[in-house]
Amino acid sequence: MSRIGRREFLGASLAATLAAQDPSKVVIARDQSPSGLDSARVLKLLDRAVQSFFARDNPVEAWKLIARPGEVVGLKVNCLAGRGASTRTVLVDAVIERLQQAGFRGQDIVVWDRLNSDLESAGFPVGVRRDKVRFIGNDSAGYEDDLAVFGSAGSLLSRTLTRQCQAVINLPVLKDHGIVGVTMALKNMFGAIHNPNKYHSNAGDPYVADVNALAPIRQKVRLTICDALIAQYEGGPSYMPQWSWPFNGLLVASDPVALDTIGWQIIEAKRKEKGLPSLQAAKRAPSYIATAADAQHRLGTNDARLIRRVEV
């Protein structure tokens, strides 16, 4: 596995410099319109969220702070649940549009997840689009030959992550998970490894944190944009429409632990509203979030006193 290169280092430094000014800021952008969110409304919502996070008046200037043109940017989507509860194509299209306007060539953008079949089921045709943006599953791209190890995690990493991408934008979904409590920024990176089935015991603790501490994941994920257009508070990760609701929002953060902490709060509030027990009472509280913040991992903070929640 190659070491982080000069271009990757400079790009990571670019995003880290600005994020360091407000390291655990989580922006929640919502569209209060009762009508559905079409592509134009999602693009405006994305602009509002990203501009607020980076404190920029122009959306294109904000996107230039995530990566440098010439870097390959990977969009890590979550497609396990098909169209109902996966990263929505309208959001991915909006991200691609803004990246291209910020100077990124289509061939330098790759949309990826574990399986080609998952991508297809979520509405992403596998292959190369006319604008040269690539869509590929790990089953086609393959995995590294050597294990990456941190703590309890020993996994083969996706070659899309290790060999193609200099920067990654994480695009999870805001939803419940029937085993590990919630699945958002941290859990979505299980899609970068060959053996996620091994890491669900004890509600994913410490496994989710350990996977995110693997060097290529820690170094390359620059930003998380959580798809909360339609969120799910029970029955996940599969799509369960009876437990889904139109949150009509996006959560943006560079700190995945802070984002998951806020997302967990949103899900718990909805569970309470609907008369369901807390995840703690249901014996599947996502304790891996606190583990990700501990002294061994240092992936972010779950301390509410340090998280700045900004609603726009």
Given phi > 0 = left and psi -120 to 50 = alpha, else beta, which region is 283?
A: left
List beta partners, residue 99: none
Q: Is residue 21 part of a domain?
A: yes
Q: How far apart are the first and last CA of the chain?
A: 41
Cβ neighbors of 310 (< 8 A, separation 6 or more) are 25, 26, 27, 28, 52, 53
Confidence band of 300 (pLDDT split at 50, 70, 90): very high
The arithmetic mean of pLDDT across residues 53-70, rounded, is 94
Report the distance separating Cα 122 and Cα 13, nearest Å: 33
* Tokens standing for residue 299: 């992936």
The arithmetic mean of pLDDT across residues 9-25, rounded, is 65
Q: Which range is least confidently modeled, 19-23, 110-114, 143-147, 193-197?
A: 19-23
Q: Is residue 177 part of a domain?
A: yes
pLDDT tens-place string over residues 188-211 = 999 999 999 999 999 999 999 999
Residue 48 has pLDDT above 60, yes or no: yes
At 13 the pLDDT is 60
Confidence band of 304 (pLDDT split at 50, 70, 90): very high
Beta strand pairing status for 109-113 and 134-137? parallel
Domains in the chain, number:
1
Bigger pLDDT: 138 vs 9? 138
Q: Is residue 1 part of a domain?
A: no
The arithmetic mean of pLDDT across residues 208-232, rounded, is 97
Domain with 143, as residue range(s), is: 6-311
The CATH number covering residue 152 comes to: 3.40.50
Answer positive or negative: Cα dihedral of 168, 224, 243, 83.
negative
* Tokens standing for residue 183: 């699945």
For residues 62 and 56, the answer to whether their CB atoms sit within 8 Å is: yes
Share of the chain above pLDDT 90, in %: 90
Report the distance separating Cα 162 and Cα 284, nearest Å: 32
At 32 the pLDDT is 83
Confidence band of 33 (pLDDT split at 50, 70, 90): confident
At 15 the pLDDT is 57
Residue 2 has pLDDT above 60, yes or no: no
At 16 the pLDDT is 57
Q: Is residue 248 part of a domain?
A: yes
